[in-house]
Amino acid sequence: MSGWDEGAVFYSDQAQFPRGAGDANQASLTTRHSILTKFKEFIRSFETSRHVFPYRESLIQNPKFLLIDFEDLGAFDIDLPSMLRSNPVDYLPLFETAAGEVLASLRLRVDGEAGKEEPVTGEVQILLTSKEDSISMRAVGAQCISKLVKIAGITIAASRTKAKATYVTLMCKNCKNVKTVPCRPGLGGAVVPRSCDHIPQTAGEEPCPIDPWIVVPDKSKYVDQQTLKLQENPEDVPTGELPRNILLSVDRHLVQTIVPGTRLTIMGIYSIYQAANSAAQKGAIAIRQPYIRVVGIEEANDANLRGPSAFTAEDVEEFKKFALEADSYKNICFKIAPSIYGHEDVKKALACQLFGGSRKACCEPRSRYHYELPDGARLRGDINVLLLGDPSTAKSQFLKFVEKTAPIAVYTSGKGSSAAGLTASVIRDSSSREFYLEGGAMVLADGGVVCIDEFDKMRPEDRVAIHEAMEQQTISIAKAGITTVLNSRTAVLAAANPPSGRYDDLKTTQDNIDLQTTILSRFDLIFIVKDIRMYEQDKQIAHHIIKIHASADAASNDNRVSKEDNWLKRYLHANCIKVSMSQDMRQRANESGEAAAIPITVRQLEAIIRLSESLAKMRLSHIVTEDNVGEAIRLFNVSTIDASKSGINHDLTPDNETKQAEAQIKRRMGIGSHISERRLIDDLTRMGLNESSVRRAILIMHQREEVEYKRERRIIVRKA
């Protein structure tokens, strides 16, 4: 993004060769006139049904731009789409001229206004759309230059809006002659002649020198222009490859319609330009940088991501039949990471996360579901899950499975991720010195799942940066004069280890998790995953692993698992359902005294609601039943409630060694004094005491309120 948006005028010595001479040139003009007539006739007379002319009516209602469907254009004339695809540089301006002439005639007919005899190209912007499949960004090469291409990707950066000249007004410094020169569209400049065409009229008048022209900016004509950076979708990047990206140039009514993090399918003209930093390089005269001049944008919203049009009638019937089965919930959970033994409740939680709850927002255009709240607030429907525990318990494998299965997913590691890399960053371009916005992992995963491994290895300030993204699902940016809000409507699946590497039963849950309450409260489900030493269970796990590795039909098993993963991904695509609680459930919820009360926070109550909605969506149901709520409460109890109770489950009666450690602590610390917990433990272990006994003594004294923790439990203060 360097040098292409400076608005410079480019001088060139290239000769402008005519298309032909004599009859050939006349034939070319005749052909262009006939094509112009066809375009005008298409806009005027194409009808989808009897007396319904969509393009003519659209032009009257919105005279600024006209959206053209390639399929309609092919139905009218089979040659027009191929001509546009092969030579859009010539025929697209012709199409816009035709739309301008039709608009002038329609205005004259409707309002009685005098239409322009020669409409200016660009008065009506032509936008193209097509149902054909997009091609890979890696397949676009030199053979596509000046051709119409369709590619898909995700927007990672957007520049500020600038004024692009369409016609530059020049004035001769010598004779004051005025000349208008057209500018090439996109990132191209104007080709300015080297000499003035003024002929001296009087004797002694000096001829105009070489390069006499100066630009008159106030008398030039401009349109709005913006540049975007489009990157490959994360799921389309081959393993081991870096994601490709390409520049996009949008103008007029496409400006400021796209923000970073938006998934797009664009149609545009594959073009080239000479970057400012490469013009001075030796041997780079013939080198040009590619970019795409966009002539049509389709956002990858829920309609084309998960809409029913993507599935056949047989697929829909198969999904409905599966949803009506009594054990459909168990079958879905069985398809979650089938190569991992056990962890049934974790798999059920991940199934709920993949399907998600129902997002409530006020008229949100790209939301999965449209529930309007009276005060305009927004409530997330995405479910956040934290897996915490011992190493070698398949936490990372769960994250990798979700990354492969979710329609939109981004995988990252907490050790190598910063706050800017997770949220968004403001970057200054080295050549233009302009600041532009670039989205991070949570912006790129908008509408999907972001998997964060090694969550405990993140710096505390980086974890604080994702607080807003996890609950409000927005990212607020106020840097370098850029103040904006980006969407991060994504579910978070995180995996972490305890501070000591393994889960220590002699520590409390808070000591084992070692994360701030502010971040823990944003997780709907927290699972403590322990590597329990049980002979029978270890034997079954070993048998399962050996069976996977030594199976004679391992290849066929892999294919079967791959097919099941694809089926689950397609079922997730099709699961676009509005969910509501039935009246019976509301009445039961309002009745008091039926069940014992559970002390939970508002966020935890909303977590149970989201889990209930996701369970209803697995059955393709729009009603949350009592069974769904019961299973949601059970999952919540076995994860978050049990996690809060896990930790020291032994008798707190001190033994002899613990009593010795307690006595040494009281001798080491006077009442009112404070010391680092780590330093206290190190000092006492050097005296020959066992570290676990010291920690147990500190815990017992904390339970008796003889000591208290300060500064995020790093400092111990003796109270009595």
Element containing residue 435 per DSSP (H, E):
strand 435-439
**How many whole angstroms separate alpha carbon 324 and alpha carbon 619?**
7
Name the DSSP class of 190. B
Sign of the dihedral defined by the CA atoms of residues 668, 669, 674, 680, in that order = positive
Q: Which of 70-84, 115-129, 694-708 has the lowest mean pLDDT?
A: 115-129
**Which of 693, 711, 603 is closest to 655 using CA atoms?**
693
- Per-residue pLDDT at 307: 38
**How many whole angstroms separate alpha carbon 36 and alpha carbon 102?**
11
**Where does residue 602 rank: exposed (0-12), middle (13-18), buried (19+ CB within 10 A)?**
exposed
- Residue 425 or 587, more confident: 425
**Where does residue 617 rank: exposed (0-12), middle (13-18), buried (19+ CB within 10 A)?**
buried
Contact 188, 213 (CB under 8 A): no
pLDDT in tens, 469-489: 888 888 887 777 777 777 788
Contact 244, 231 (CB under 8 A): yes
Q: Which of 36-45, 105-114, 334-343 has the lowest mean pLDDT?
A: 105-114
Between the ranges 121-135, 446-460, 595-609, where is the mean pLDDT highest? 446-460
- Per-residue pLDDT at 218: 84
Say which residue the tokens 């009859």 belong to. 23
pLDDT at 12 over 80: no
Rounded (10°) CA dihedral 309, 314, 320, 325: -150
Residues above pLDDT 90, as percent of the chain: 0
**How many whole angstroms separate alpha carbon 151 and alpha carbon 525?**
38
Mean pLDDT taken over the chain: 76
- Residue 119 or 254, more confident: 254
pLDDT at 29 over 70: no
Tokens representing 65 are 């731009």
Rounded mean pLDDT of 597-616? 79
**How many whole angstroms separate alpha carbon 559 and alpha carbon 556?**
5
Q: Which of 68-77, 85-94, 595-604, 711-720 has the lowest mean pLDDT?
A: 595-604
Q: Characterize the bridge pairing of strands 162-172 and 424-428.
A: unpaired
Which residues make Cβ contacts (< 8 Å) with residue 701, sequence separation at least 6? Answer: 662, 665, 707
> Count of CB atoms within 10 A of residue 97's CB?
22
Q: Which long-range contacts (CB under 8 A, 24 or more apart) does 700-704 make?
A: 700/652, 700/654, 700/658, 700/662, 701/662, 701/665, 703/652
**How many whole angstroms separate alpha carbon 162 and alpha carbon 166?**
13
Strand order in the sheet with 449-453: 409-413, 449-453, 491-496, 385-389, 525-529
Rounded mean pLDDT of 518-537? 80
Tokens representing 333 are 């959970």
HSE value, Cβ hemisphere, 13 Å, CA-based, for 108: 10
Say which residue the tokens 């066809």 belong to. 38
pLDDT at 692 over 70: yes
- Per-residue pLDDT at 116: 47
Tokens representing 288 are 């040009």
**Which of 15, 28, 159, 180 is closest to 90 using CA atoms?**
28
**How many whole angstroms separate alpha carbon 409 and alpha carbon 399?**
10
- Per-residue pLDDT at 138: 87
What is the band of 646 on the pLDDT scale with cuts at 50, 70, 90? low
Say which residue the tokens 């991070």 belong to. 440
What is the band of 46 on the pLDDT scale with cuts at 50, 70, 90? confident
Between the ranges 108-117, 368-377, 587-596, 598-607, where is the mean pLDDT highest? 598-607
Q: Which CATH architecture has domain 656-718?
A: Orthogonal Bundle (1.10)
- Delimit the CATH 1.10.10.10 region(s) of the chain: 656-718
- Per-residue pLDDT at 563: 57
Which residues make Cβ contacts (< 8 Å) with residue 247, sequence separation at least 6? Answer: 1, 4, 187, 227, 228, 229, 230, 289, 290, 291, 292
Rg of the chain, C-alpha, whole Å? 33
Rounded mean pLDDT of 271-277? 74
pLDDT at 9 over 80: no
Rounded mean pLDDT of 412-432? 76
- Per-residue pLDDT at 590: 52
> Count of CB atoms within 10 A of residue 159's CB?
21
Say which residue the tokens 């403590």 belong to. 528
- Per-residue pLDDT at 586: 52
- Residue 279 or 515, more confident: 515
**Which of 345, 452, 340 is closest to 397 using CA atoms?**
340
pTM score, two decimals? Answer: 0.67
What is the band of 328 on the pLDDT scale with cuts at 50, 70, 90? confident
Quickly list DSSP for 314-353: HHHHHHHHHHHSTTHHHHHHHTSSTTS-S-HHHHHHHHHH
HSE value, Cβ hemisphere, 13 Å, CA-based, for 559: 3
Residues above pLDDT 70, as percent of the chain: 77
**Which of 516, 500, 496, 530 is closest to 695 using CA atoms?**
500
pLDDT in tens, 222-262: 888 888 888 888 777 777 777 888 888 898 888 888 877 78
Q: Characterize the bridge pairing of strands 178-182 and 221-231.
A: unpaired
Quickly list DSSP for 684-709: HHHTT--HHHHHHHHHHHHHTTSEEE
List phi, psi (to 5°) of 270: -70, 110
pLDDT at 269 over 80: yes
- Per-residue pLDDT at 324: 84
Of the candidate CATH numbers 3.30.420.40, 3.40.50.1240, 3.40.50.11540, 2.40.50.140, the domain formed by 23-162+223-300 belongs to: 2.40.50.140
- Per-residue pLDDT at 21: 47
List phi, psi (to 5°) of 127: -115, 135
What is the band of 10 on the pLDDT scale with cuts at 50, 70, 90? very low
- Per-residue pLDDT at 277: 59
- Per-residue pLDDT at 3: 39
Which residues make Cβ contacts (< 8 Å) with residue 431, sequence separation at least 6? Answer: 2, 3, 276, 277
pLDDT in tens, 543-561: 777 777 766 454 444 444 4
| Angle, vertex CA 619, rays to CA 621 and CA 609, nearest 5 | 70
**How many whole angstroms separate alpha carbon 2 and alpha carbon 229?**
12
Element containing residue 67 per DSSP (H, E):
strand 65-69
Rounded mean pLDDT of 651-656? 65
| Angle, vertex CA 340, rays to CA 338 and CA 345, nearest 5 | 85
What is the band of 285 on the pLDDT scale with cuts at 50, 70, 90? low
**Where does residue 483 rank: exposed (0-12), middle (13-18), buried (19+ CB within 10 A)?**
exposed
pLDDT at 647 over 60: no
Q: Which CATH architecture has domain 308-539+560-645?
A: 3-Layer(aba) Sandwich (3.40)
- Delimit the CATH 3.40.50.300 region(s) of the chain: 308-539+560-645
pLDDT in tens, 372-399: 566 666 788 888 898 888 887 888 888 8
Tokens representing 341 are 């033994």
Largest CA distance in the chain: 120
**How many whole angstroms separate alpha carbon 181 and alpha carbon 106?**
30
**Which of 175, 178, 176, 179 is closest to 205 using CA atoms?**
175
**How many whole angstroms separate alpha carbon 634 and alpha carbon 641?**
10
End-to-end CA distance of the chain: 65
- Per-residue pLDDT at 13: 38
Q: Which of 228-237, 269-278, 367-376, 422-431 has the lowest mean pLDDT?
A: 367-376
Q: Which residues of 352-383 are buried (b: 16+ CB within 10 A; e: fewer)?
A: bbbbbbbbbbeebebbbbebeeeeeebbbbbb
Rounded mean pLDDT of 450-470? 83
**Which of 653, 648, 713 is closest to 680 using CA atoms?**
713
pLDDT at 343 over 50: yes
What is the band of 339 on the pLDDT scale with cuts at 50, 70, 90? confident
- Per-residue pLDDT at 432: 64
Interhelix angle 691-703/656-668, nearest 10 degrees:
70
- Per-residue pLDDT at 592: 44
Name the DSSP class of 137. G
- Per-residue pLDDT at 583: 52
- Chain Cα centroid distance, residue 400: 18
